[in-house]
Amino acid sequence: MMRLALEEAAKSGADVPVGAVLCRDGQVIAAAHNEREAGGGPFAHAEMLAMQRAFERLGERRLRGCTLYVTLEPCPMCAGAMVMAEVDACVFGAYDPRQGCCGSVYDLPEDPAFFHRVRCTGGLLEAECAGQLRLFFQNKRK
């Protein structure tokens, strides 16, 4: 699933290459990549788009039984959306020490203040996920 998320991230074009795949019972329900620069606006993060597409496809308000695979640790907005959508788990590749809210800066999905908790695991294919991001920013700085 993380390899599919990496493939999705490669489609990000001018945007930061982040890809997300949401699955249930081993089946891909939805996939997305960042689309902020493509006119999607500030909420067009890969995770948000994948969850929205999953809602539309499943016709359900909650994403129980689903796991979200994402190439970069979710930000506060995406981590909060996972909680509100009642996603079961999130597996991410690269850690984000500046904005990551699944353990790096804050652990929003595990905060006991919220009704639902999302199990988060980081570091899956971390080198590949971080390498894709590093290459993007190196090229952008040139």
**pTM, 2 dp:** 0.96
pLDDT of residue 102: 98
The average pLDDT across 75-79 equals: 98
* 142 pLDDT more than 90: no
- Return the closest-CA partner of residue 18 out of 94, 91, 85: 94
pLDDT band at 13 (very low <50, low <70, confident <90, very high): very high
**Which residue is catalytic, options 8, 35, 47, 73?**
47
Helices (H), ranges, the chain: 2-9, 46-58, 76-85, 126-141
* 125 pLDDT more than 90: yes
CA–CA–CA angle 127, 96, 55 (5° rounding): 95
The average pLDDT across 102-124 equals: 97
Q: Is 47 a catalytic residue?
A: yes
* 140 pLDDT more than 90: no
* 82 pLDDT more than 90: yes
Percent of the chain with pLDDT over 70: 100
Mean pLDDT for the chain overall: 97
* 22 pLDDT more than 90: yes
